[in-house]
A = this chain, B = another copy of it.
Amino acid sequence: MKKSSAAFTLFFFIFSYTFAQSPEILKIRAFREQNENAIINEFVSLLSIPNIANDSLNIKKNAAFIMDAMNKRGIQNVQLLSPTTLSKPPVVYGEANIPQATHTIIFYAHYDGQPVNSLQWTKPLEPFKPQLLNGSLEKNASVIPFPTSGGYNNEWRIYGRGASDDKAGVMSILNAYDAIIKSGLKLHYNIKFFFEGEEEAGSSHLSEILEKYKSLLQSDVWIICDGPVHQSGKKQIVFGVRGDCHLDLTIYASKRPLHSGHYGNWAPNPAMMLAKLLASMKDEEGKITIKDFYADVIPFTDAEKKALAEVPSVDEQMKKELGIASTEMPGKSLVEAINLPSLNINGMSSGNVGKQASNVIPTTATAVLDLRLVLGNDWRKQQQKIITHIRDQGYYVVDHEPTDEERSAHAKIIKIIADDGGYNAQRTSMELPIAKNIIAAVQKTTGDKIILVPSLGGSLPLFLFEKYLNAKTIIVPIANHDNNQHAENENIRLQNLCNGIETMASIMLMQPE
């Protein structure tokens, strides 16, 4: 954020300076600076291990690497918490039991990453060959070699899948603990470490693990270290998330691809059918036209409304940064928009485009819809609203490849796979004593006022922690907002990694309220 006057800059400088005197954070920072090479080398090694949740061989390698990193740091009771289906990703767990401590914080991060399409990464970047750039790719930074003896600039970035989402979370937590112990600082809370391996695949086995290890996982609060800081660059604490679920749609036309000359105008074109179906779901102002789509929404409390009003507007900054002249719902701010249920097309495909395009009428057309939910929405009901809408457009809905009988009986056939791993939104009150304690701890690490966000636009299955453990969850994100998480060219800005270590350490160092 640019300061608008010299006086302000001076004030800011003095404040930051004063601030930097905080002896505990200074020790953490010194440890991090002295161990820069080791910290980054270990992080890069972890990023080099592919981490897609269904790649069970590599997932196990990730888990082993993290266990090793925990053992090296003297963390106790390090173990894998595995689901019954052993091929599914385990949680990596460990703990630091503090004599006389009666309260416990669990730190959560996940080590799996979103699926990758290497072809979409900008050469020479690759998902699992982490590389250092002297800035942001979008600002034409170049690949540079990793220094062998420090001298990192904190505006440099490391590119690779998981760099920000969420191996940065894992390593910030472990290095924060390391810095505290090695600097001789004193902990007042018991610390538990919980690193999930299936978050990006919908946390399908998380409930099973929480239930199975219920007694091991008791705590006063879960700190969820995931997601980006505020787009203004300021640190934020987030008290809730949107829910999430998906629908996979496939429209069926001719059983075989047809020559577009010999059959064009006559044979149904599934891409056009899909276009018409998707177009029927939103109006020109971005409002979702599915019946009752916004009906169940629970409004914010007064405290939440106040916090929302204090979130700095980044709309103009983001429009400029993203190169967009207007938004999907004109008149609605980013904060307003992401606090509504959404319907987003993740992907759409029919036939071929580009050099592989040919003169055919394709056989099928596919779209993946991502539905975000706010407090009050039920994810199965939200899926059902879409399915009902599709039926209302004249579609015969199947959950399998249509049979010849179905094909001959129905003009419009769609296969809908409603994913089974959806979940609802969740919010923790920002007025709880533990919440206030955490706000104060994070505030200690920065001169900027911490931003308090009642709900993230993104999703995490936080309702599970409440359901199985009756636990409170608070999200403390660390990644830069322009980290390309979930897409090609994912990256972490080194300053965010450094800040992340300090933020996690400051929370670990809290005294119970």
Contacts and interface: CB of A to CB of B under 8 A. Distances in A.
Given A254-B324, A257-B487, A365-B348, A272 B278 contact: yes
A48 B362 CA distance: 26
A484 to B, nearest CB: 6
Given A348-B350, A353-B368, A265 B325 contact: no
A456 to B, nearest CB: 7
A404 B325 CA distance: 10
Given A261-B244, A261-B458, A366-B353, A268 B487 contact: no
Interface in A312-345: 319-329, 332-334, 337-338, 340, 342, 344-345
A264 B342 contact: yes
A42 to B, nearest CB: 26
A361 interface: yes
A344 to B, nearest CB: 4
Contact of A266 (B278, B334, B348, B410): B334
Contact of A346 (B242, B260, B322, B367): B260
A279 B268 contact: no
A52 B360 CA distance: 16
A268 B327 contact: yes
Contacts of A278: 271-272, 275-276, 279
A482 interface: yes
A282 interface: yes
A323 B324 CA distance: 43
Contacts of A410: 325
Interface in A446-461: 456-459
A186 to B, nearest CB: 37
A117 B352 contact: yes
B326 A268 contact: yes
A359 B279 contact: no
B261 A325 contact: no
A349 interface: yes
Give the most central of A338, A365, A481: most B CB within 10 Å. A338
A263 B408 contact: no
Given A282-B272, A342-B264, A349 B353 contact: yes
A271 B367 contact: yes
A345 B411 contact: no
Interface string A274-285: 111111111010
B360 A486 contact: yes
B323 A407 contact: yes
A4 interface: no
Given A257-B487, A272-B345, A279-B279, 7 more contacts: A254-B322, A259-B486, A261-B457, A263-B457, A265-B344, A346-B352, A346-B362
18 contacts: A115-B358, A117-B356, A253-B324, A261-B458, A264-B372, A266-B338, A268-B324, A269-B328, A275-B278, A276-B278, A278-B279, A323-B408, A325-B409, A345-B350, A347-B357, A349-B350, A349-B352, A357-B368
